[in-house]
Amino acid sequence: MAEDATDGGVNKATPQIPRYDLDPKLDACLDLSIRRLLYSSLAGASAAVLFFRSRTTRWGTVAFGAGAGVGSAYTECSYILNGYLPKWPANKVEK
């Protein structure tokens, strides 16, 4: 039997790379948060370029878009990690 190793038959130890296996729920939350932050920041930047001239107003619009994205991602992640939807009070019409 011929060895397949080309290093003279000496097997070199390969360094072990640590794997970051996250919980699937946490992985989904991380993915959702990054996407919503990016997309809402881009939407805020494009709206700022179209509608505003001042540099301060443009940055404010981008920050508002980023904040809206982070807030919606936080809400969605709290639903994902807790495993239930919030129970809203029923609207009762009084007669």
Number of domains forming the structure of the chain: 1
CA 9 to chain centre: 46
In a domain, 73, yes or no: yes
Q: Which two tokens stand for residue 15?
A: 């360094």
Evaluated on CA atoms 54, 58, 64, 68, the torsion sign reads: positive
In a domain, 19, yes or no: no
Going by pLDDT thresholds of 50, 70 and 90, the confidence category of residue 59 is very high
User: Contact at 8 Å (CB) between 5 and 11?
Assistant: yes
- Tell me, what's the pLDDT at 8? 61
Q: Which two tokens stand for residue 90?
A: 């029923």
> Is residue 78 helix, strand or coil?
helix
Give the distance between the most distant pair of CA atoms in the chain. 92
In a domain, 65, yes or no: yes
In a domain, 23, yes or no: no
Q: Which two tokens stand for residue 37?
A: 């932050």
Q: Model-level pTM? A: 0.61
pLDDT in tens, 36-51: 999 999 999 999 999 9
Range of the domain at 57: 33-82
